A and B are shown apart, each in its own frame.
Chain A
Amino acid sequence: MSNLLEVHKVVKQYGDYVALNEVSLNVPKGSIYGLLGPNGAGKTSLIRIINQITLPDSGEIILDGEKLQPKHVQTIGYLPEERGLYTSMKVGEQCLYLAQMKGLTKAEAKQQLEYWFDRLGIQGWWNKKIQELSKGMAQKIQFVVCVLHKPKLLIFDEPFSGFDPVNANVIKDEILALKEQGATIIFSTHRMESVEELCDHIALIHKSNKLIEGKLSDVKRQFRTNSFEVGILTDNVEGLMYDITQKFTVSPASFKSLNDDLKLDIQIGNATPNELLNILTQRGQVTHFVEKIPSVNDIFIQTVTENKK
């Protein structure tokens, strides 16, 4: 798969403070790319550079095979974390204005706006002022503004903040629909469950450096601990424990189960799961056998704490 966006060794300094230290990223075409990192890691600096709001001190950015240049602002849609609109301007006029700034003609903008207003069921808002709308409603308008010009690359910075669960779901479905239509989406957030749900690639930036990047499944494989959650019904607990502790590291586990079974966390190291299963089946009835897959949250916390020094 080719990359829509490539970031090569980008450096950004603010005075003595290094915000980005030779960060490189590859965002594949048609992917949802999770850009993760704690507060102050440099995510926003990077996003601003991609949006050409600021310029990198060194390094280069390739968008769709071309060096990033001013005309590219029309192919990017950006939903910043700090959002807002002109409070005393009417919704329709405001959207038309912002769309025209992205290079649409007035007629195109109007047509697109009608499509999106219809889709999100907000046709009646055209002549309302932003100050008459609730925060969530204003966020919807912003989402529309961000996608109006059919950008190839969408950058969402915390897109779900400020939405109630129903509307967050509406937006999530829209994001997935945009992906279906071929858009590439960069998704910056702290909410790991939405990363888990939506992203197929992730990158983790911490203290101005990129620490992890790759396909979500690859990253998880890299972070796998080779431990299994096991539930087993057995009469001879001592015998079982003796057998498995010979070969593996065992610790008690807790998970939900309908049986009154023994719950264990077993680290198999270099052995295969079958070796463990063989021992278990000899000693009792296996009711639960699952590999412990690290969640994005675990990966995030583990990486960030490891690199604290």
Chain B
Amino acid sequence: MSIISLIIKREFIAKVRNKSFVVMTFLSPLLFVAIAGFIGYLSSMKAETKQIAIHDETGLFASDFVKQNKKDGEFKYLNLSEIDVKALKDSITKESFNGLIIIPKTNNLKDLETKIEYVSNNSPSIIFIEKTQNIIGEKITKLNLEKAKLDTLAIKKAQADVSIHLAKTSGEESLKGLNEIKIGIGGAFGYLIMMFIIIYGNMVMRSVIEEKTNRIIEIIISSVKPFQLMIGKIVGTSLAGLLQFLIWAIIGLGLMFAASAFFGVNVGPTAKIPPELMHSAQQEFSGSAQMYISELWNLPIASILIGFVIYFIGGYFLYSSFYAAIGAAVDNQTDSQQFLLPIIMPLILSVYIGFFTVVNDPHGTIAVVFSMIPLTSPIVMLMRLPFGVPWWQIAISVSLLFATFFLVVWFAAKIYRVGILMYGKKPTWKELYRWLKY
């Protein structure tokens, strides 16, 4: 058996046998589902109804608000225009109402646009304010139209509702909702890579530190090259990680099915939707689902999956070499913080870029540039892939990633080689640089 595979095997077995690894593997999905269930439970609880008083001196708007009571459970509007403003304000301080909308008397509707007041003890949510503004705005628009003697019905008819049909030059048809799927897929893969790098990169680092503190390192590297040890460690740990991920996926899926079956039974009868309505809703749902599924197959699935594997391997190896080098340079975990920050930063940066820039403009300059830079490309490029990326960009990005990977492995191996034999003190950046020349 070759030495590297021997090391891989040992690292894998050592990781898998570790008690905390076993516990984490089987407990995490349970925890995750428990948290998800708890959040679901919390959000399914009815929010407390908020009482909103309306003091409308114009008498134009109160009815529009009260109309909302039927469809809106969250807010209950009360028309209290008869009651003195001062008394209402007092009752708010005594918390009889959550808020008070004051619409002053005015002759000019234009004035109203800026003169309406909302009084409350706590600052209101943005959604509530927007909603209120909409209701009043619509009403004023309507009143203005009537005042100008325009036919509101005719205007409504004249308003166009445009829906653009998306198509690509390659002839494939495209759905608007598809972008959400693309973001979802790219985001999920990108996030997965980040999590994997952080969790298992750390594991590589811990295992390097362990060998250093055990002092076994000198025996081992009198038999094998530090480079072999480092590669064996990274591969062994990642195999253990993949196994853990696989178990998580299986348990997670199982629990999800179990949960949906459990809740599905519960939700059915309580919803009490008339059968015809249910039927049409189902049809609508299955219709759009079919559409989504068929569109899903139109995605460049092969290139996404191949891309995922390539970027996953490249990114993980790149980062875990950094982790291994850091582990070799320090004596204990606390000392590693200083060196970890510059590694975590590009990871977080790439997730942010992915979720903000790529989503807005998958082929914009920022997205393109960061999908080329090796430290961010595994995540950013993966998020771009579902939107279709020209092959030459992928080629540049992948070759840059792997070129950097080899460079970093070389550099990490040097730090590693010197670092594992240094005990007792925390090195500075300057010393790390000097080690490269030993």
Contacts and interface: CB of A to CB of B under 8 A. Distances in A.
Interface of A: 14-15, 48, 51-54, 70, 73, 76, 78, 80, 82-89, 97-98, 100-102, 142, 145-146
Interface string B314-354: 00000000000000000000000000000000000000000
Contacts of A100: 1, 6
20 contacts: A15-B434, A53-B222, A73-B223, A78-B219, A78-B222, A80-B215, A80-B219, A80-B222, A82-B215, A83-B216, A84-B213, A84-B214, A84-B215, A85-B219, A86-B14, A86-B214, A98-B220, A101-B6, A101-B223, A101-B224
B18 to A, nearest CB: 8
Contact of B421 (A52, A53, A88): A53
A3 to B, nearest CB: 21
A98 B215 CA distance: 14
- List the 3 shortest-distance A-B pairs measured between CB atoms, nearest first: A84-B215, A84-B214, A80-B218
Interface centre among A15, A48, A80 (most CB of B within 10 A): A80
B3 interface: yes
B220 A101 contact: yes
Nearest to A48: B421
A20 B87 CA distance: 93
Contact of B216 (A15, A85, A102): A85
Given A54-B421, A83-B216, A98-B220, 4 more contacts: A53-B421, A78-B218, A83-B218, A86-B14
A87 B222 contact: no
A303 B93 CA distance: 93
Contacts of B219: 78, 80, 83, 85, 98, 142, 145-146
Contacts of B89: none
Contact of B438 (A14, A76, A88, A145): A14
B293 to A, nearest CB: 48
Contacts of A97: 6, 10
Contacts of A14: 438
Contacts of A73: 222-224
B423 interface: yes
Contacts of B222: 51-53, 73, 76, 78, 80
Contacts of B251: none
Contacts of B215: 80, 82-84
A108 to B, nearest CB: 13
A257 B423 CA distance: 50
A146 B222 CA distance: 11
Given A53-B221, A101-B6, A86 B421 contact: no
Contacts of A145: 219
A87 B223 contact: no
Contacts of A83: 215-216, 218-219
Contacts of A87: 214
A101 B220 CA distance: 8
Contacts of A86: 14, 210-211, 214, 216
Contacts of A70: 225
A101 B3 contact: yes
Given A15-B434, A48-B421, A89 B14 contact: yes
A192 to B, nearest CB: 25
Contacts of A102: 223
Interface in B67-95: none
Nearest to B420: A53
A73 to B, nearest CB: 5
Contacts of A52: 222
A47 to B, nearest CB: 9
A51 B1 CA distance: 22
Contacts of A48: 421
A227 B434 CA distance: 53
Contacts of A101: 3, 6-7, 220, 223-224
